[in-house]
Amino acid sequence: MATRKQNQQEVVSLSNSTSVLALGLEAHMTYGSWTATAETAENHYLAYATKLAFESEYVDPNRVVDRFIASVAACRDEWRKQTLNAPYFAVVQASMMGKSRLFFRLAERQIFIFYICLGGPEFNGYPKGDPALVKALTSQTCSEGFYAAFLLAALEKLFEFRRTDPPGSSADWIRQQQDTTFWTSILERAKNQSRQLPFLFPGLDKDENEQQINERKNQYFTKLRNHFDQVLHAQATSKDNILFIFDEARCLLQLAEGSQVSNFVILRRALQIFP
- Per-residue pLDDT tens digits for 241-271: 899 999 999 999 988 777 789 999 999 999 9
16-25: Cβ within 8 A, 24+ apart: 16/52, 17/45, 17/48, 17/49, 17/52, 18/45, 20/44, 20/45, 20/48, 20/49, 21/45
pLDDT band for 43, please (50, 70, 90 cuts): low
pLDDT at 235 exceeding the cut of 90: no
Residue 152 Cα to chain centre, angstroms: 14
pLDDT at 29 exceeding the cut of 80: no
Element (H, E) at 84: none
Q: Compute the distance between CA of residue 161 and CA of residue 186 in angstroms, rounded to an integer.
A: 13
Q: State percent of the chain over pLDDT 70.
A: 82
Question: Please, are residues 110 and 69 in contact by the beta-carbon 8 Å criterion?
Answer: no
Query: pLDDT: is 36 or 97 the higher one?
Result: 97
- The 3-state DSSP class for residue 254 equals coil
Mean pLDDT, range 70-83, rounded to an integer: 90
217: left (phi > 0), else alpha (psi -120 to 50), else beta?
alpha
Q: State percent of the chain over pLDDT 90.
A: 41
| DSSP-H helix ranges across 195-262 | 210-233
Tell me, what's the pLDDT at 117?
A: 92
Q: Compute the distance between CA of residue 62 and CA of residue 65 in angstroms, rounded to an integer.
A: 9
Q: Compute the distance between CA of residue 17 and CA of residue 9 in angstroms, rounded to an integer.
A: 13
DSSP assignment, residue 29? T
Please tell me the number of Cα atoms within 13 Å of 217 on its side-chain side. Answer: 11
- Strand locations in the chain (E): 111-117, 241-247
Q: What is the pTM of this model?
A: 0.79
